[in-house]
Amino acid sequence: MNYLDYAATTPVDARVLDAMLPYFREFYGNPSSVHRLGQKAEAAVDEAREKVAAVLHCSPGEILFTSCGTESDNLALRGGAFANRNSSGRKWILTSKTEHHAVSKTAEQLAQENGFLLEWLDVDEFGMVTPESLGRAVCDDTALASVMYANNEIGSINPIAALAGIALKNKILFHTDAVQAAAYLDVNVETLGVDLMSLGGHKFYGPKGVGALYVRKGTGLLPQMTGGGQEFNLRAGTQNVPYIVGFAEALRLAHMERENRTAHVQPLRDHLIGEILETIPDSRLTGHPQKRLPNHASFVFKDVDGNLLLQLLDAAGFACSSGSACKTGNPEPSEVITSLGYSRDWALGSLRITLGVDSTPQHVDSFLQTLPGLVEKARKLNQK
């Protein structure tokens, strides 16, 4: 299988797995236990927190470990919105329909079930939230704004530092979902200026089932999981020690090797984009042509069923995605793609190709030789 779906998930780095293994059987204590095995586990969690804080340029006490990026998004939005309303009475939430559903669906539920008010931020032709868009939407009653760092479906990178600056000026909480961004972009929270930032381990060669949330010191946050006092009383539950260790090591490696990883994937991505747009009729690049993740290529093809194309690619030995991995199997066009203004005959034909450390020029060339014929076949089948 030629794997071209690194935005959906990545294989665990062998070095990350080696760091994790001792904490499954050798040092298996509960970090909340007083005995030596518990202390060893607690020390591993503390060390992991320090590793993550070093990459984010924050204090260890500002890092919460969660079960995934989705939980981090939920904790940021729910916890931040409720705490802000409790302290100030503010109840407006600002976000966009190009967000991952972990943010957009959470914001919708807060509005539908919990009395918050929701405004969708306008996006430009590349699916990006501009500072002007956020500036028009903020008001004295805004509690929180959430804009993703880099889009998982179309790869566009939002101007987070500028957006966070507007939020700071208006004294509102600013959250960014950096789950897709952390593999290739700088996640220095002092440079970005965010109050809350979500990360997920399996997007940068760490294990699935673990994430983190950065919470700037002084930021009000109402816990969404209650119980014990873990994670500074903000996220109850016994810590998943081996996965936390793996998350921290994977993030450290991503930070150390970012330049080399980018230099590896970006030329392959550019070759993909150029060849596909040149060789396949009625094809368009989605997302910003330059301000996009270095491993990310995404397209729409007119009169193509994206899910059918994925099946044809899979049968030919290629693993790709149609927009978000969470969208696979859904016959409706992605909200992200429709937000760009594409009609249904274009929006249904989305394809996302994402590269990684194991991608080679041979993989890309083989894919480029196969894709045009399969797009043509999918069009013919779609006409029947």
DSSP string, 29-87: --TT-SSHHHHHHHHHHHHHHHHHHHHHTS-GGGEEEESSHHHHHHIIIIIHHHHHHHH
| Listed residue (16, 13, 21, 30) closest to 246, CA to CA | 16
Q: Are residues 229 and 212 in the same domain?
A: yes
On whether residue 3 sits in a domain, the answer given is no
Residue 226 has what DSSP assignment? Answer: -
On whether residue 165 sits in a domain, the answer given is yes
Q: Please work out, in degrees rounded to the nearest 5, the angle formed at the alpha carbon of residue 8 by the alpha carbons of 367 and 76.
A: 155
Give the separation between CA 178 and CA 198, rounded to whole angstroms.
Answer: 5
Q: Which residue, 203, 229, 256, sits at the end of a domain? A: 256
Q: In the structure, how many helices (H) and strands (E) does the chain have?
A: 16, 12
Task: Give Cβ neighbours of residue 180 (< 8 Å, ≥ 6 apart).
Answer: 7, 100, 148, 149, 150, 151, 152, 203, 293
Q: Are residues 144 and 106 in the same domain?
A: yes
Q: Are residues 262 and 249 in the same domain?
A: no
Q: Are residues 127 and 67 in the same domain?
A: yes
Query: Which CATH number does the domain housing residue 181 bear?
Result: 3.40.640.10
The beta strand positions in the chain, using DSSP E, are 2-3, 63-66, 92-95, 117-120, 142-146, 173-177, 196-200, 211-215, 283-285, 296-301, 318-319, 350-354
Q: Are residues 174 and 141 in the same domain?
A: yes
Q: Are residues 246 and 109 in the same domain?
A: yes
| Listed residue (76, 13, 6, 5) closest to 205, CA to CA | 13
Q: Are residues 194 and 162 in the same domain?
A: yes
pLDDT of residue 322: 86
On whether residue 1 sits in a domain, the answer given is no
On whether residue 2 sits in a domain, the answer given is no
Q: Which residue, 205, 233, 256, sits at the end of a domain? A: 256
| Residue 326 annotated to the active site | yes
Q: Are residues 86 and 220 in the same domain?
A: yes
pLDDT of residue 235: 97
The count of residues in the chain is 384
pLDDT of residue 326: 54
On whether residue 8 sits in a domain, the answer given is no
Catalytic residue among 58, 139, 320, 326: 326
On whether residue 298 sits in a domain, the answer given is yes
pLDDT of residue 202: 98
Identify the domain containing residue 164 by its residue range.
Answer: 14-256
Strand 283-285 and strand 296-301: pairing? antiparallel
| Alpha-helix residue ranges (DSSP H) falling in 280-325 | 306-315
pLDDT of residue 95: 98
Task: Give Cβ neighbours of residue 92 (< 8 Å, ≥ 6 apart).
Answer: 116, 117, 118, 119, 139, 141, 142, 143
Give the separation between CA 326 and CA 334, rounded to whole angstroms.
Answer: 10
Q: Are residues 207 and 117 in the same domain?
A: yes
Per-residue pLDDT tens listing for the chain (384 residues):
999 999 999 999 999 999 999 999 999 999 999 999 999 999 999 999 999 999 999 999 999 999 999 999 999 999 999 999 999 999 999 999 999 999 999 999 999 999 999 999 999 999 999 999 999 999 999 999 999 999 999 999 999 999 999 999 999 999 999 999 999 999 999 999 999 999 999 999 999 999 999 999 999 999 999 999 999 999 999 999 999 999 999 999 999 999 999 999 999 999 999 999 999 999 999 999 999 999 999 999 999 999 999 999 999 999 999 864 555 555 688 899 999 999 999 999 999 999 999 999 999 999 999 999 999 999 999 887
Q: Which residue, 234, 256, 278, sits at the end of a domain? A: 256
On whether residue 372 sits in a domain, the answer given is yes
Strand 196-200 and strand 211-215: pairing? antiparallel
| Listed residue (40, 80, 374, 31) closest to 221, CA to CA | 80
Q: Are residues 239 and 263 in the same domain?
A: no
Cβ proximity of 7 and 320 under 8 Å: no
Query: Which CATH number does the domain housing residue 328 bear?
Result: 3.90.1150.10
On whether residue 4 sits in a domain, the answer given is no
pLDDT of residue 330: 56
Q: Are residues 42 and 121 in the same domain?
A: yes
Instruction: Provide the domain count of the chain.
Output: 2
Strand 318-319 and strand 2-3: pairing? parallel
Q: Are residues 143 and 269 in the same domain?
A: no
pLDDT of residue 332: 81
Question: What are the tokens at 106?
Answer: 């959470």
